[in-house]
């Protein structure tokens, strides 16, 4: 994959698996806080997975939920609140909710896998990426392919992007029933602006990540990132299967697994 976002070289040159800290790294409820993001970076992480919502006055926040209620001591829908109102809330009663600007400028060497959670964030996220010229540092994803594509259309330069749920579903189902040449012909058009498939190991009763899934993705030049993997044995199995990256809540355990495999990045290699 030629886009800079995916470049993860080791000391000897070969591409390493991409390790992503899911909403940063925190044992005690500080997801999507600067404290959690810094904790992951201190472990050696180069990639952070996060989410964005936008306030009523157009400020992009790093937050998974559309309300403040679950993770903060505040209440209300983000889209109905101003940035000043949101700034009074604290994650787990302790940490402020970061803005996208805070994250981009506060951790300048880190790459960000950004899940666009709402339509209100399409224009504001695109504007923030342009403002910071962060095109090489971000991967734009969303469960909604329409929302993801809407962001891409507003950008002046290409960015990495991951397929939405409908596209992943088509890839998974058609890959099992169509002959290889037909499958590749059909999917190339559908995947014209997709560089990664970011998927769970299974969705309900359906096993998503299989040797065939990984093989078909690689044949189309796509990388496979699997979320959210917290068990070391499952991490080892997926890496052996040939997936290109893992997203985890347990950044400490994934680092240990990659270190034992000799696949943890050298801090001197960018």
Q: What is the pLDDT of residues 212-269, one digit of tens each?
A: 999 999 999 999 999 999 999 999 999 999 999 999 999 999 999 999 999 998 876 5
- Give ∠ CA 260-225-20 in degrees, rounded to 5: 60
268 occurs within a structural domain = no
265 occurs within a structural domain = no
Report the CATH number that the domain containing residue 28 is assigned in CATH. Answer: 3.20.20.190
266 occurs within a structural domain = no
What are 196's strand-pairing partners? Answer: 162, 223
Does residue 53 carry a catalytic annotation? no
pLDDT in tens, 41-93: 999 999 999 999 999 999 999 999 999 999 999 999 999 999 999 999 999 99
Average pLDDT, the chain: 95
Phi then psi for residue 263, to 5 deg, are -120, 20
99 occurs within a structural domain = yes
Q: Report the helix count and the strand count for the chain, using DSSP H and E.
A: 10, 13
18 close to 8: Cβ distance less than 8 angstroms? yes
3-state helix, strand, coil in the chain (%, to 5): 40, 20, 40
181 occurs within a structural domain = yes
Does residue 22 carry a catalytic annotation? yes
Q: Which entry of 53, 64, 195, 218 is annotated as an active-site residue?
A: 64
Domain of residue 239 covers: 4-260
Q: Which entry of 22, 53, 195, 225 is annotated as an active-site residue?
A: 22
Give residue 266's pLDDT: 80
41 occurs within a structural domain = yes
Buried b (16+ CB within 10 A) or exposed e, 63-88: bbbebbeebbebeeebeebebebbbe
Q: In the chain, how many domains are there?
A: 1
72 occurs within a structural domain = yes
269 occurs within a structural domain = no
């Amino acid at each position: 994959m030629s886009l800079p976002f995916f470049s993860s070289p080791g000391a000897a040159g070969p591409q390493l698996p991409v390790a992503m800290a899911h909403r940063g790294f925190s044992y005690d409820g500080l997801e999507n806080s600067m404290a959690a993001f810094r904790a992951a970076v201190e472990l050696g992480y180069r990639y952070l997975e996060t989410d964005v919502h936008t306030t009523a006055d157009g400020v992009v926040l790093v937050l998974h939920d559309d309300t403040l209620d679950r993770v903060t001591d505040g209440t209300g829908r983000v889209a109905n609140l101003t940035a000043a109102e949101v700034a009074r809330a604290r994650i787990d009663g302790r940490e402020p909710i970061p803005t996208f600007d805070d994250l981009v400028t506060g951790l300048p060497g880190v790459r960000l896998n950004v899940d666009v959670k709402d339509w209100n964030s399409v224009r504001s996220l695109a504007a923030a990426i342009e403002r910071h010229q962060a095109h090489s540092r971000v991967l734009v994803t969303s469960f909604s392919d329409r929302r993801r594509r809407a962001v891409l259309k507003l950008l002046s330069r290409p960015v990495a992007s991951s397929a939405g749920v409908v596209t992943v579903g088509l890839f998974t189902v058609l890959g099992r029933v169509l002959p290889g040449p037909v499958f590749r012909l059909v999917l190339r058009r559908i995947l014209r602006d997709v560089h990664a498939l970011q998927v769970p190991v299974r969705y309900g009763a359906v096993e998503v990540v299989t040797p065939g899934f990984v093989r078909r993705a690689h044949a189309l030049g796509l990388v496979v990132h699997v979320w959210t993997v917290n068990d070391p044995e499952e991490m080892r199995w997926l890496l052996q299967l040939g997936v290109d990256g893992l997203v985890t809540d347990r950044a400490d355990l994934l680092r240990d697994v990659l270190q034992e495999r000799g696949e943890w990045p050298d801090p001197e290699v960018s």
